[in-house]
Chain A
Amino acid sequence: MPAALLDIDHVSKRFVKHPNLGERVAGLLGAGPKTEIVRAVTDVSLNVAKGEVVGLVGESGCGKSTLGRMIAGIYTPSDGKILFDKVPVAKEQGRRTQKLTTRVQMIHQDPFASLNPRIRIGDTVAEGPVAHRIVKPRDADSYVADLLGRVGLDPTYRRRFPHQFSGGQRQRIAIARALAMKPDLLVLDEPVASLDVSIQAQVLNLFMDLRRDLDLTGIFISHDLGVVRHVSDRVAIMYLGRIVELAPTAELYAAPNHPYTRALFESVPRVGVGKKNFRPIAGEIPSPLHPPSGCHFHPRCPFAGPRCKREAPPLTAIGPGRFSACHLNTGGTD
């Protein structure tokens, strides 16, 4: 395995809601909880090699977007550290980190929200590279034209405003803006979730072409198992802030190990298998404010035993390159 470009080392993220004045007064009088803590990501470790695309899959509240934002340097981890090319990703100022932030770029889910509606798209794309002196201001025009062509848009569109484009075209603009910084790592947070199916395929094809041509490394965040399977080399399944399974894509889809992964695959409707007897996962997704004890999945797990309530299973190797966090693999649930 080549050296890791991205090294996520025991990272956790907690969001703390401090009580406001009224709640503090109420607290003094002996009422209610004081501080609420959401454990969005708990003790996640992951290495990403250069040129690799890792998919992060999970349902709402599993921490996949929080992890993506920590990788992009938008959030600072509460514990642990994230190394990008051996340099910690952090908000602290300094020439090194500033250089670093340009090498990791993020693409967001909603291209209607991520583009400034009052700025011409050419200026949106040019802003970053000019500010960071990747291109000289007088070369910006041709640089932008080049990028727009690369993402499949007519270069003459650069004088237009975002509202003149469809959702798929806007997502191409967002991709062009990210590529303008000549990034090594792209963090894509649900990049096709808001697009129609026929447009989804266009954007996925574009991503795969760019990845091949530019040797990009990617973190691909999605709730759509089919999309992730198509673009990722490895997939991490997350549940309530923890990675529960990590494996090469083909092996994961051929033989999922963790009960949650298996249940997830079972409950996903698919085209072309005909009508289906759903065997859905029972129960609700617990709130990350009050996660269950031990293994977070135990209240919904058909195989849960007393041990699952007591201790959280660590992510352990179950084969070459395969990891799963389940007591079933390590001596049973009793």
Chain B
Amino acid sequence: MSDVVLRVKDLQTQFQTRAGVLKAVDGVSFEVGRGRILGLVGESGSGKSVTGYSILGLIEPPGRIAGGEVVLKGKDLTRLKGEAMRQVRGAQIAMVFQDPMMTLNPVLKIGTQMIAAVRAHDKVSRKAARARARNALAKVGIPSPEERLDAYPHQLSGGMRQRVAIAIALLHSPAVIIADEPTTALDVSIQGQILAEVRRLADVTGTAFVWVTHDLAVVSSLADDICVMYAGRVVESGPATDVIASPRHPYTAGLLASVPAEHEPGTKLPQVPGSTPSLANLPPGCAFAPRCFKAGPACTTTPPVQQFEDGRTALCHYPIEPVSCQPLSSTSTTYRSAS
């Protein structure tokens, strides 16, 4: 990738608790290029959202960024403090949250909030700011944007509110937008509209997206690249189509195999045994080993990052051999006996 806009390197985010230090993010690295969409996939507790918050410097005590760097256009964000970080946040990097009501103030008109957001970084007249707000709303496909500026958040539907949240994120044409489960709370027909809009925005405006989600189907139809997270680490990364077609890490394979839509109806679904481990109580070495069908003696030691062709990686002692064609059925058989 030539024009990398965001590079996260060996990011460590830890929380000090009574149970000890929890490594919510433990050495996460990835890169996002201009106009690319990176899907950050994981189940609850995998550290995907904390990664997103860490990038924007939104970690509050007892949490802290213990190491690594977040480089946005050559600048390390982890070194920025207070006002300096505020200059960057919202202007060069922005965030969209799962619940748009978290982003929007319920007692202010959409226009008031958007004008404030514009003027927080650019000294322009209210009139010019309003025009920019209107253009941003139009850009995310909101009909009659001029009237919407005078609406309150409760007058809009969930899908419309999420579009407004994305429009606010777009106001300063940031290089990167971090989106944390932005369509999880929406209905499928509305989710489809938002995904289509985001794909278009990335292609047209060159904005890069980090799309944090638990939904593999969303990632496989939207993202260019994928990072799969488990217990605070990236266990597999690579181009989305390749990873989905032929996962190399047993966890990715297990996740993909357990999606019901890909199986003959009524048949037993391949399942990953056990449940996600607590961060306070991680097994030594590979955190996935106790649930893994390929686990071997080496798995009690920390697995190496294996590099494969096409920039793919897997954090595993015993990665799955690549499959030439239809992978889902073949990987699933390995999980079928598990209960």
Contact = CB atoms under 8 A, between A and B. Distances in A.
8 tightest A-B CB contacts, nearest first: A226-B261, A267-B192, A280-B192, A201-B258, A278-B196, A59-B187, A198-B272, A276-B221
Interface of A: 59-60, 166-169, 196-202, 204-205, 208, 223-227, 229-232, 249-250, 263-264, 266-276, 278-282, 284-285
A205 B275 CA distance: 15
B160 A284 contact: yes
Contacts of B268: 205, 208
A276 to B, nearest CB: 4
B266 A208 contact: yes
A269 B260 contact: no
B214 A197 contact: yes
Contacts of A224: 260
B218 interface: yes
Given A59-B189, A225-B261, A229-B265, A271 B196 contact: no
B270 A201 contact: yes
12 contacts: A166-B275, A199-B43, A199-B275, A200-B260, A250-B265, A269-B217, A270-B217, A271-B261, A273-B221, A274-B220, A275-B222, A278-B195
Given A272-B220, A275-B221, A267 B259 contact: no
Interface string B310-322: 0000000000000
B59 interface: no
Interface in B245-263: 245, 254-256, 258-263
Given A198-B255, A199-B275, A266-B192, 9 more contacts: A169-B275, A196-B44, A197-B258, A198-B258, A223-B188, A268-B217, A271-B328, A273-B221, A285-B157
Contacts of A201: 258, 260, 269-272
B259 A226 contact: yes
A231 B220 contact: no
Nearest to B187: A59
A193 to B, nearest CB: 10
B191 interface: yes
A278 B199 contact: yes
B112 interface: no
Contacts of A231: 265-266
A267 to B, nearest CB: 3
Nearest to B194: A280
Contact of B188 (A197, A208, A268, A272): A268
B173 interface: no
B189 A269 contact: no
Contacts of A205: 268-269, 271
B272 A60 contact: no
A69 to B, nearest CB: 20
Nearest to A274: B241
